[in-house]
Structure 1
């Protein structure tokens, strides 16, 4: 039996994943948390095989959380389940000896496979991400199949990304799409976080690599 603890700040997703995993043979969800503080408070008393963790939590930076986890339970096996595809996240986290990194579009079968592999001492990284990619110009982006772009970005995000790449300002995008400037700014920040890039240049590189723009 693989004992799992899940930490994710999206309540509906957390409840759904807990329910689904609880129905899988050989897996037991022993608890959940919606933020880093709640996780750290419970961690000393937890007897688990794998910690299933999202990258972004509302109350603590990912590296700070991992540092504290390693102090409390140095040998704890950690599997990230996240939307964050950028290799810069992985390169930052593998320094703390994480055991796996899986995207949230993975199937339940793949998640089960990852959990069972990690519980036996193996490591498991999504095949969609090459953690050894060190190409200087594009190391913070990832090329994906065209049909999968819409699995990562909403139609509105793709629309805004395209306009950003065409050098429209936030105010111009807002006027064109009948949105507020603050909404556009939020979309821009979400795009940067979701795609794992550092700035607008990274967004343009992602769009070019995935043929969203010419």
Structure 2
């Protein structure tokens, strides 16, 4: 884990926002760099704050979490997006993951899970809890439910398949590199190539592709 993880939070409910911030204060590795009341406020200040992770509510005035996620990815801002919301509908989970979110938490999550989600998303590129795992699995099993769209005629090399399997095991670039004798930079390059070949935006998309095509169980 890097020395400090810079995080931002966007939520229109100040009491909840301050509660999350307070719960994270006992972890010196996490540094708050931006508070925002909505997506518009977040986008206006994110370039200055430069967070590594954004905790993002879904229902906000002026610009909601879905619109904000789309805009962050459209601008190619290098930030991990963790949705934290009361919305427990699996359709939101699938849509946000496909849009570019890196994790999805419900607002009744324990503070320890929020900390774990932030750290894991920074290290692995995503954080899947049981709720998200079940939603992704149901999507794969029920082809008519928000059918995923991948590039056609995908031809992966044996090395790319090897890295993809390890990504699905939630291993970091350092761990993958150590296991298959590659540098972390080379592993990141293979991950980027996988994203391009498969036509997805984040690690969640890679995992969904691997499950759907039986590369992993």
Is this a same-fold pair by TM over 0.5? yes
Query: How much does 1:110 deviate?
Result: 1.1
Q: Which residue of 1 aligns with 2:118?
A: 115
Assess if the C-alpha contact under 8 Å between 1:81 and 1:103 holds in 2.
yes
Q: CA RMSD in A?
A: 2.0
Structure 2 unaligned regions, length at least 5: 147-217
Maintained 8 Å contact 2:10/2:37: yes
* Cα distance in structure 1, aligned partners of 2:106 and 2:66: 19
SS at match of 1:124: coil
Where do residues 86-105 of structure 1 align in structure 2 (5 Å cutoff)? 86-105=89-108
Select which of 4, 9, 22 maps to 2:12: 9
The TM-score with structure 1 as length reference comes to 0.59
Is the Cα–Cα contact under 8 Å of residues 6 and 53 in structure 1 kept in the other structure?
A: yes
The CA distance in 2 between the partners of 1:113 and 1:38, in whole Å, is 26
Would you say how many aligned residue pairs link Structure 1 and Structure 2? 138
- Return the index of the structure with the highest Cα Rg: 1
- TM-score, with structure 2 as normaliser: 0.58
Cα distance change of structure 1 residues 19 and 61 upon mapping to structure 2, 3 Å threshold: closer
Q: Where does residue 81 of structure 1 map in the other structure?
A: 84
Q: Which residue of 2 aligns with 1:165?
A: none
Which deviations, in whole Å up to 9, do the C-alpha atoms of 1:160-205 show, x marking residues without a partner?
A: xxxxxxxxxxxxxxxxxxxxxxxxxxxxxxxxxxxxxxxxxxxxxx
Runs of 4+ aligned structure 1 residues displaced above 4 Å come to none
Q: Which among 17, 20, 25 is matched to residue 22 of structure 1?
A: 25
Measured after TM superposition, the shift of residue 111 of structure 1 is 1.1
